[in-house]
Amino acid sequence: MKNQYYLLNISVSGIKNIKEEVRLDFYKKTVDKDFNPDKYRIKAIYGENGSGKSAMITSVKIFQDLLIKNNYLNESKNQAFLDEMISKSTKSFRFSLEFLVVSGGSKTVYNYSVHIKRSDKGLYEIYSEELKVKNGGYVNNNYKTIFKSRDGELLYVLCTEKQKEFLEKKSSNLLLTHSFIYIYIVNLEKDIMELYKEAIDQELFIHVIACMTLTLLITVYLGEEDQYELYFLRKILRGNGLDTKALQEEIFEYSGIANIFFNVNDKIVEKKYFEKYKNKVNQLTQFIKIFKHDLISIDIDKKENGENYECDLNLNYGSYSINKEFESTGIKKLIRLYDCFEAASTTGIVFVDEMDSNLNDVYLCKLIEYFMYYGKGQLCFTTHNLDPMTILKENRNSIDFLSSDNHLVSWTSRGNASPENCYKNGMIKDSPFNIDATDFVGILGE
């Protein structure tokens, strides 16, 4: 049985107008022996403008960037971004998540948390970071710490004393600006092995690589993103030649991992993956043909660049061809979302902000219906469109309402009441929509 990753929940505070903790649950409260995520694979977040829906999605992106991007906190553009996003009153951002790994019939639950604070120098730094693990088959099990850092110091790590001393020394000047997970996987693991001529502690490696794997399985759509750094990290993880290669290959055989090494929206594609990239573009063509029946093909314009191709996509309609960037807004968005949709249909964990924008209501609902009945991954999206509620109300824990005062309310069945009517009529707790057309009289004119 291949490994299965499932995101159980995320908790966020200190981003934009979200001051107090908001927790988003994707599964029921406990993981037991009968764990079955099939009815818990999709979630829509509703809320008024400015309630914090986009902030929730952005917080996942910040978490991902912290773990996969080298020097993320050392770059001025990222510091400026965090200064805009992190709450001006708290100057502090907290993010945590729980996820489940099912492997060979055993269930393991992880808890990862990170706390970013603004320093006296006016820069955002990692104040604390922690990874914990417990057996997922028993409700009352306690977490065991894998590593813990605070204020730039590695307080605890699960390894031998000799290796711990080495890790403390090598990470002491980095932990304020780099995740220990990134430091360990990319910089230190091989050094430990070469220095002491002994195998690394396998348990530590398994838990750290599990957290990184979960991070790589996540796709966040907030518009166009520069994916070059993610691309190069994938390359490092794929070919670092560790003695634990057999274990690493077992992890990377997980079907969801195979899809993260190239996407149709990547501009750089390794030559050895180009044939697979072509197959993926062919799949994209079939997908877009559903919406544009006159499309003949999507052609790849490639240029050699060392071991890579620089690729661009042109949509061929027979009598003319157009670069994807000059397509209609709706088609361009569908192309950009394709990688998200493919990931969510297999084993990825996908967050999409404003999925309904520029998409026809009928197409939107049919896509959501597909993911609800056939998707194998997880899809979480924000939307203002009420039509998907009709479909999602049949699923468990699939509709959440976020209020402007950061209260999250999950839809539960109320007899014959529909979520869309309750929401529109202000019958959801803290919902602001108990308004009438006459409320605008005298403001916008009679």
pLDDT tens, position by position, 408-420? 888 887 767 888 8
pLDDT in tens, 50-66: 888 999 999 999 999 99
Query: Which of 345, 378, 406 is a domain's end point?
Result: 345
Q: Which of 149, 61, 93 is nearest to 352 (CA)?
A: 61
Q: How many CB atoms lie within 10 A of CB 241?
A: 7
| Rounded Cα–Cα distance for residues 60 and 97 (Å) | 10
Q: Do residues 266 and 403 share a domain?
A: no
Are 120 and 231 in the same domain? yes
Provide the edge-to-edge strand list for the sheet that holds 408-410.
218-221, 349-352, 378-382, 42-46, 399-402, 408-410
Tally of structural domains, the chain:
2
CA distance 365 to 301: 33
Quick check: is 445 in a domain? no
Distance CA 25, CA 67 (A): 22
Q: Which residues are CB-contacts of 319 (< 8 A; sequence separation ≥ 6)?
A: none
Looking at the structure, do residues 336 and 359 belong to the same domain, yes or no?
Answer: no
Same domain, yes or no: 362 and 341: no
Say if residue 204 is in the same domain as residue 262: no
Same domain (yes/no): 377, 401: yes
| Secondary structure E strands in 282-361 | 297-305, 308-316, 321-323, 349-352
Q: Which domain holds residue 229?
A: 4-254+347-440
Q: What is the pLDDT of residue 216?
A: 87
Residue 158 belongs to some domain of the structure: yes
Note whether 420 and 321 are same-domain residues: no
Domain annotation covers residue 446: no
pTM of the full structure: 0.87
Tokens (6 digits) for 90: 């708290």
Query: What pLDDT tens digit does each residue of the chain (446 aa) get?
Result: 356 899 999 999 999 989 899 999 999 877 777 788 888 999 999 988 888 899 999 999 999 999 988 889 999 989 999 999 999 889 999 999 999 998 877 889 999 999 999 999 999 999 999 999 998 766 667 899 999 999 999 999 998 888 888 888 888 889 999 999 998 887 665 565 555 445 555 788 889 989 998 998 899 998 654 444 444 445 545 554 444 444 444 444 444 444 455 688 888 888 888 998 999 999 999 999 999 999 999 999 999 999 899 999 999 999 999 999 899 988 999 999 999 999 999 889 999 999 998 888 999 999 999 999 999 999 999 999 999 999 998 877 899 999 878 888 888 877 678 888 888 877 787 776 666 777 777 787 66
